[in-house]
Amino acid sequence: MADLKIGDMAPDFTLPSTVGDKVTLSDYRGKKNVLLLFYPAAFSGVCSTENRQCGELTSANPSDDVEVLGISVDNLWSQRAFGEKLGVGYPLLADFHPKGDVAKKYGAYNEERGFANRTAFIVGKDGRIREIVASETPVARDIPKLLERARSA
């Protein structure tokens, strides 16, 4: 398990995406701050609530400075159905093969339960981690506050 801290370079990755073909984190370097939202499972209650709220907020108040990337260990087909059901316009990424590889790089993978823990990382335009927000699995994060912090990172 990674032991990342504020100021560390965010581990780079490329994952299959519901928007376009694949997303590579380093493609945003120098262009946008990135809010990485690791979540346990598509279609679960809290994950649905968080992603729906984030989708509504980002479509109502778009930002050229922030990209939101939702990440779970669900496969891409599940992620696509989940995003369509919720009307999410930002990329949902499938950390599926090998399962949880990116979540492991970020120290967000729960080996015992086989999913990503509810963890958010705000990555600055320089590629460095600005903030890490972890939450217990059944506890929703404050999405408006995370978006606000990502915009000011």
Q: Which residues are catalytic?
A: 47
3-class SS of residue 23:
strand
Q: CA 134, CA 123: separation in Å to the nearest integer? A: 15
**Is 70 within 8 Å of 93 (Cβ atoms)?**
yes
Alpha-carbon torsion (129, 134, 140, 142), positive or negative: negative
